[in-house]
Structure 1
Amino acid sequence: MQSANMLLRKIVRSSVLPFAAQHGMKKDLFLLSRTLSLSLCLKQDKSCEPSEKLDLDEWKKVMKSGLQEEVSETVSEPKELSSLAAARETLEMWRLAGRAVPEKISEDQLKTFMECPSKSAKKKYLKFLHLKELYKKNDRRKAEEKRERKLEAQDQASKTDETKKSSFVCLWSSTMDKAYNWRAAQSMIFGQPLVFDMSYEKEMSVREVTNTVRQLVLSESFNRRSVDPFHIHFCNFKDDSLYEREFIKHYREAWDKLLITVTDQCYTEIFPKDKLIYLTADSPKVMKTFDHDKIYIVGSMVDKSIKTGVSLARAKRLGLETAALPLEKYLLWNTGAKNLTLDQMMHILLTLKDTADWKKALEFVPKRKYCGFVNKPVKELKKTLDLINTLKLGKGREKVEKQFAKNYPKKYKLKQK
């Protein structure tokens, strides 16, 4: 009986298991053979008849019928999937055998591999894919090495530049800061005052207040770096106001160390009224020259909705003199409001203080707001316009022609020709 069992196991291992390994049924058939052998042993135990013989032909029939059922189930699967899986298995076998096989292969490449007519063609195609994959890896590795070398060179160059410049830059920045602070400290004693009126918080939104503070920060930095800075006064400045909170956001610990005067008093309580001039675009009076003995007031307001007359009304209530910049006198102004930002006003006033040149000062007006500078005075332009109008109407033609020829001889000669 034991020899029969051994024979049965040899038959199963030699014939059935290789077939099952090719079709992915090794585990199921192993379990089937094991159950068959166990059932055989149980029957032998139950019968306990040593004279009874095992019919091997019957067991072969049973096992073949089971194999046919398993094979029929696997055949019912799509042919393409089974063929692709078989091709992948062959590729894995060739890779394990040490042949030139690519690590990653797509389905299209696998289909072309299956369509190869012979085994040598399949080997050549796989070798081609393997070499292509190696070239790509090599190019990628070279690019990464090149990038790493470039980054290392940049780091070394930046380190060398930093070591060369760090001492000089630190020395230069510290000395320049000392010089700027020294100038600002001198301006607090001897400089001309410039007042920023901080009483417009209620007329603005939160966004407009933040923009105002940003422009004031720029104005303070421009003033501190100038040759002859103003002594800046923030008047009508309330504690714990939105202005103060925004200034603390910008300056942080340096807010208490700024070389400016911050007070909640009005400028009329600090300076005499006859020296104060309120600069506003709504003023009917045009500023002709910069007066070093006067104290100019600028409203700390960013007016997005263009509320005209707010600063002018405030100056009139306080009984102060007002003035507007002569923009139309020196600039060919386009259509639009003549309101300028606070940092632009600071640039203009500093340039006027240093040079007294309106053309240089008004270069800080944005170019989008005007066409260019006026080359001739406005009075001469008005005279030429009057002459042209009189020539058109025909009144006093001879007299006008004589005057025109006297003023513009070249144009008169061209006209006669």
Structure 2
Amino acid sequence: MDTEAPPVQPVENTLISCPGTTPGTPLSKNQLKKQRKLAEQIEFRKLRRVKERERRKEKRADAKSKGLPLSVGPSRKELKRRQVSAIGQPNAADAISVAIDLNYDDLMQERDIAKCVKQCLRIYTINRRAALPLRLHFTGIKRDGHIHECLKKNDGWENWHVNYHFDCTHSEVFEKQQLVYLTCESDTVLDKPLPGHTYVIGGLVDHNHFKGLCHQRAISAGLATARLPLSEHVDMKTRSVLSTFHVFELLTRVAAGQDWTQAILETIPQRKGAKAKESNTTIAKEEQLEPCEQQLELVEEKQPSTES
């Protein structure tokens, strides 16, 4: 009796076994680095959102304990009042001004210009919500240039409480003796924003392609320069180069009376891994221990001697 041949099992075609297909090459070191960086950014976003939720809960709990409305921040009417009062100060010599230098229109690509304008929007929001708003100026805007056209895409931008300066730089608007250009290459450390001075921040998004350009322009124009005291107060894993709106936020915090260490830790992104300097912590502890040590010395002096 003839036996039937077993049925032929169909061959499953995969991407590798298909004819004319070459196996994929392993990822390069650069691609692996990008993947790790993307994963870290996603993780930092989650942590940042959790931290933001905790801040909102603390603000609401504090407002509830004080019998205040449970709104997260001040009303729009209060924000507008702060901004108007900051701009309309009667004594201009006592005001602290900040100028965002936008005279880099031709050096940025289209996507970088969009990022630059987005940072300007964020700066306006930070200043509007600051406890002590600063006088904000946007200088060096080329009329009908790339930055100007990008600003026009935002409805109502003309009504912002910002001083716009078209086709003129900060050197043409303010006296040179009052200008201080903030650059990380400067040898001078900014101790504290001083009234009557205008601090210039370069509005350049270049991904480090034009390193030191803001500093070179400031020196060529004969302006004073300064850098933020980042390395004096915190240790960071990455470079101490900050975004334009981070520099502006630090200035608003310190101008309102916050110390540098706390302002830096609350402003810069977590990915930079900033930690307070141990020397600063040690000095603070020593200052707290000094009164205690003095009291112990007084007690020892009052105690009778047991020596024969």
Which category describes the TM-score, using the shorter chain as reference length? 0.5 to 0.7
Q: Identify the match of residue 218 of structure 1 among 111, 122, 125.
A: 122
| 1:278 counterpart SS class | strand
* Partner of residue 258, structure 1: 160
Q: How many residues align?
A: 205
Partner residue in 1 for 2:137: 233
Amino acid at match of 2:110: V
Task: Using the TM superposition, give the Cα deviation of residue 345 of structure 1 relative to its aligned residue in structure 2, in angstroms.
Answer: 1.4
Which consecutive unaligned segments of at least 5 residues does structure 1 have? 1-171, 381-417
1:343 aligns with 2:242: no
Give the match for residue 331 of structure 1.
Answer: 234
Q: Structure 1 247/338 Cα, relative in aligned 2: closer, same or farther at 3 Å?
A: same
5+ residue gaps in structure 2?
1-70, 90-94, 284-308
1:177-196 matches, within 5 Å, as: 177-190=76-89, 191-196=95-100
Q: Which moved more, 1:302-311 or 1:348-357?
A: 302-311
Matches within 5 A, 1:123-142: none
Once the two structures are TM-superposed, the CA of residue 312 in structure 1 deviates from its matched residue by 0.4
- Checking the alignment, whether the CA contact within 8 Å between 1:331 and 1:370 is kept in structure 2 is no
Query: Contact (CA 8 Å) 1:289, 1:356: kept in 2 or not?
Result: no
Quick one: which amino acid aligns to residue 349 of structure 1? L
Q: Does residue 270 of structure 2 align to residue 352 of structure 1?
A: no
Please, which of 176, 187, 210 is the counterpart of residue 284 of structure 1? 187
Following superposition, the deviation at residue 348 of structure 1 comes to 0.6
Distance 1:346 1:208, change over 3 A: same
Shift of 1:379: 12
Alpha-carbon separation, structure 1, partners of 2:151 and 2:160: 11
1:70-103 superposed Cα distances (whole Å, 9 cap, x missing partner)? xxxxxxxxxxxxxxxxxxxxxxxxxxxxxxxxxx
TM (norm. structure 1) is 0.46
Q: TM-score, normalised by structure 2?
A: 0.62
**Does residue 305 of structure 1 match 2:208?**
yes
Aligned residue among 261, 264, 273 for 1:362: 264
**Change over 3 Å in CA distance of 1:350–1:192 after alignment to 2:** same
Q: CA deviation at 1:271?
A: 1.6
What percentage of aligned pairs have identical amino acids?
Answer: 24
Q: String of CA shifts for 1:327-355, please: whole Å, max 9, x gaps.
A: 11111122x43221122112111110011
Q: Distance in 2 between matches of 1:272 and 1:246?
A: 29
For residue 146 of structure 2, what is the aligned residue in structure 1? 242
Using the alignment, how far apart are the partners of 2:281 and 2:126 within structure 1? Answer: 33
For the 8 Å contact 2:202–2:214, the answer to whether it is kept is yes
Q: CA separation in 1, counterparts of 2:254 and 2:248?
A: 10
Q: State the one-letter code of the partner of 1:187.
A: A
Change (3 A) 1:309 1:243: same
Check whether the contact 2:102–2:138 (CA below 8 A) recurs between aligned residues.
yes
- CA distance, structure 2, for counterparts of residue 378 and residue 177 of structure 1: 39
Question: 1-side partners of 2:99 and 2:214: how far apart?
Answer: 14
3-state DSSP class of the match of 1:355?
coil
Give the structure 2 partner of residue 176 of structure 1: 75
**What is the alpha-carbon distance in structure 2 between the residues aligned to residue 370 and residue 328 of structure 1?**
13
Partner residue, 1:372:
275
2:217 is paired with a residue of what secondary structure? helix
Kindly indicate which of the two structures has a greater share of residues assigned to helix: 1
Change (3 A) 1:378 1:274: farther
CA positional deviation for 1:176: 2.0
Q: Does 1:317 align with 2:185?
A: no
Aligned to 1:216, what secondary structure does the other structure show?
A: helix
The two structures, once aligned, show a CA RMSD in angstroms of: 2.3
The runs of at least 4 consecutive aligned structure 1 residues that moved more than 2 Å come to: 377-380
1:292: how far off?
2.6
In terms of Rg, which structure is larger? 1
CA distance in 2, matches of 1:288, 1:201: 31
Higher relative contact order (CA 8 A, sep 6+): 2
Q: How far apart are 1:289 and its partner, in Å?
A: 2.5
Helix, strand or coil at the partner of 1:291:
coil
Matches within 5 A, 1:104-183: 176-183=75-82
- Whether the aligned pair in 2 keeps the contact of 1:234 and 1:262 (CA below 8 Å) is yes
In the other structure, the counterpart of 1:209 is: 113
CA distance in 2, matches of 1:279, 1:298: 6
Matched-pair contact (CA < 8 Å) for 2:96–2:194: no
